[in-house]
Structure 1
């Protein structure tokens, strides 16, 4: 695994979504801020003190869940932690992708560095070493209720830290101990409290949500490009984006999108004035600021909640050295993430919904301003983009099913001790799938609008839409005859999700 030599210093300042993406996907090196190491050490010393005093503390000298009233003597404290990890590693289904697992490890490291978990610094440093040397635990996607933390999936991470379980190294799936050995990372024998500290947290749902939110924020930029290009080739009415309209309904997202469309189409020879061709456009064109803007406002709220969560401590119990106390609370409960993951699902699904409606207008000869039917000049012999629209319609319909909220569900567990759970990890996984589907729809719209631009003359495009057209043509050629397109859709999605491409796109916007 090739690492980027640039560093993300964990513990020196709050992590951002971009920090997580740089480590998870761009493989930046991770280092621990020196000032946090002392906090971790003091917290561990406090745990040792509690053990010496034989204090009754949940998860330290007691069992877990319904067994919280069962006392565990000090001499069995280490075995308790090992048993915890082995018994809780009950994840099922396909494993998470490498970027998600790397994000999980990073977020767990960051939470532990606050010094409220009682874990040894050595364990945290081992996790950092795994990131930097490319050991990626196999973590099944299913099995978390999203309360008491992401217990099952995080246990699969802890297994590899112990030299057990399974992991990927240099692209090969293997025994976790072997992966650690090949990478030159020494496994850790867990001591009192450490197993619980590793698995009692919301880092799985939050890692999935962080990457999905980052992708959705960039998607919101891309669909402003695609909608501007579509509106332009359909000779849209520019008056709908006049700032006067949006000043008197001053939602931030709505105003931003209207400004973006106006900027992207500046200098266009295709946009029209009110009543020049038609008085007003269909909603999929005219209401882009209102629809995209509402999703943007939602995404900003989701972003803010995620940044709080990735810089929070979500263990139980929590150790407060300065106050000389240990508190059993509920910070592990995933409800704050569960709700915003459902919100993310809806916000991203709506960006895809309206994009598909614009694709329909591009290919439908009754709606597309005299463009060739299905954007092919040899209709009949060629089907053009007929089935591309089918694919987009399929994706948005799938999204509608996936957008049903997970957070309204709950099921009791641990003999009704844990009687309300968040289902936040299910919500995060669904949101990530919806975002990916939405990218596919946006790619189809960009592909379609760029082809339509060929018939209207790319030289007639606005300043920003010309950039979007060129971006598409850089990766996808114009081919008039029927040809295989799915590879081009996939290529556009890959390029749109690239960090550098996303940055360049943002530079074209307000």
Structure 2
């Protein structure tokens, strides 16, 4: 069956908002984290580059590999067994069957399935790596990977089972199997067999050519795709925690002078200077009087110093994540220009592992910071005149109302769990596969841990947001002259649409869940990221 034109109309397969998002071009250019997020979370399609030289290079790699095999050469994973079985020769009569065998025996993933956004990020990362033209795959394979994204044929990828070298073999086998028409996929809102999805789209399942099963699976796409999503969520949390610090300063009747620019010029870490600038902007116009204390407690006064660690770390994390995203990270590499086969170890995910171990540490510190601020707000011994537990009840009803007491307990529980997950995964290398894979990265476990820490920290931020808005409203009720700058008032209005003022005790679970979802989606804090190629100026 003839392959379809990727630029053809796919509107009935796309989400309604996809047309409004510029397609991400794959091939001949570096992708950014924002490109992956656009595909995974914003509904963007992908489009393979029209550049003739790039397309010719992709085809040339597959053609060289075929000629190399026909000349009797031995190529790992193409006419040999895999891993420790590299010493086993595969007869030419079985070479065509070998790729599908690889996908099948790796079909042993466990744990929860990756959600749609994560699956899309994984496919985008794998597609971009193969598009570097050093993997010996045919153009049709890239087209079919693009189909998975553009038609939302999403493999059901179990999260557990990768040690991060030799790449994300087991989880990526579910991508390879989907292309071959095997296993289950999510398609048009339901689970179905991959074969049925391809039939609906008018395609036969792809027959994987020699090396294509290995090229799909022997790489770092799962950890890298998850790292892109984690980076975006962490960036949002940094800005949100600064805004919550500003609002907590108002609610506690604290001092704006703690964020004076000279303080941060004297200790010139860029990240903490930026965090202080965010807080200053949110407090602009608020008079600075000594208030109740000459110096506010550390969780307020030192907030930029905590947030700034994450801000500075994100700069080198972006470098490493985007380098991994824009790399040929399978083995062996097929050089279409020099016509060489290079056996190496680019599937090792050490950079992503280290970045994700670091990111979960910095993010968990935000959870701890916000939880400590919340503890000050609910405690009438430290909140400078606010009601105990931030209850909004009338004096007559106050004895039986407990406001945010339980919310703070839950916040502390989420924080403790986030902190527990900061144990680095990258140091837990295990020797596997008959001591062939005897030093591995654990990058995918680190990325999954990081996403869990992000989820817990977003829950803490949700609790903090609801409680701090309540506290600011109570401060206003006690003193109508309280100055709340415009950005904070707008934020309070947004939060109140999800969780109105708590006068009488009520169950807040659904409001906390809704708030957490908004925070995870970046609905409250708009953070400008790098523009994608083709975006409007």
SS of the counterpart of 1:28?
Answer: coil
SS of the counterpart of 2:504?
Answer: coil
Show the 5 A alignment for 1:282-431: 282-378=297-393, 379-431=398-450
Q: CA separation in 1, counterparts of 2:203 and 2:275? A: 48
Show the 5 A alignment for 1:59-98: 59-98=77-116
Q: How many residues align?
A: 503
Q: For residues 447-495 of structure 1, give each alpha carbon's deviation from its aligned partner in whole angstroms, at most 9, with x where no partner exists.
A: 1110111112287202322222122123322231111211112222222
Q: CA separation in 2, counterparts of 1:121 and 1:470? A: 51
Q: CA separation in 1, counterparts of 2:107 and 2:202? A: 24
The offset of 1:499, in angstroms, is 5.0
Q: CA separation in 2, counterparts of 1:358 and 1:140? A: 37
1:237 has 2:250 as partner: no
Q: For residues 15-69 of structure 1, give each alpha carbon's deviation from its aligned partner in whole angstroms, at most 9, with x where no partner exists.
A: 1111111111222111101223222111111111111111111112211101112
Aligned-residue RMSD, C-alpha:
1.6
Q: CA separation in 2, counterparts of 1:496 and 1:14? A: 29
Q: CA separation in 2, counterparts of 1:349 and 1:451? A: 24
Task: Specify the alignment match of 1:8 in structure 2.
Answer: 24
Given the two structures, how large is their TM-score scaled by the length of structure 1? 0.95
Q: CA separation in 1, counterparts of 2:78 and 2:144? A: 22
Contact preservation (8 Å) 1:202, 1:314: yes
CA 1:16–1:502: 2 relative to 1, 3 Å: farther
Show the 5 A alignment for 1:465-484: 465-484=488-507
Task: Specify the alignment match of 1:494 in structure 2.
Answer: 517
Task: Specify the alignment match of 1:30 in structure 2.
Answer: 46
Q: For residues 145-171 of structure 1, give each alpha carbon's deviation from its aligned partner in whole angstroms, at most 9, with x where no partner exists.
A: 100100000001111110001111122
Q: Extract structure 1 runs of 4+ deviating beyond 6 A.
A: none
Task: Specify the alignment match of 1:106 in structure 2.
Answer: 124
CA 1:55–1:257: 2 relative to 1, 3 Å: same
Given the two structures, how large is their TM-score scaled by the length of structure 2? 0.91
Contact preservation (8 Å) 1:142, 1:153: yes
SS of the counterpart of 1:226?
Answer: helix
CA 1:190–1:413: 2 relative to 1, 3 Å: same
The offset of 1:425, in angstroms, is 0.6
Q: For residues 299-348 of structure 1, give each alpha carbon's deviation from its aligned partner in whole angstroms, at most 9, with x where no partner exists.
A: 22222211111111101000112222111111000111111110011011
CA 1:177–1:268: 2 relative to 1, 3 Å: same
Contact preservation (8 Å) 1:299, 1:347: no
SS of the counterpart of 1:173?
Answer: strand
Q: CA separation in 2, counterparts of 1:256 and 1:71? A: 58
Q: For residues 270-293 of structure 1, give each alpha carbon's deviation from its aligned partner in whole angstroms, at most 9, with x where no partner exists.
A: xx43x4432101100000111111
SS of the counterpart of 2:318?
Answer: helix
Q: For residues 155-208 of structure 1, give each alpha carbon's deviation from its aligned partner in whole angstroms, at most 9, with x where no partner exists.
A: 011111100011111221222212222344431011111110010000001111
SS of the counterpart of 1:221?
Answer: helix
Task: Specify the alignment match of 1:146 in structure 2.
Answer: 164
SS of the counterpart of 2:45?
Answer: strand
Contact preservation (8 Å) 1:266, 1:464: no
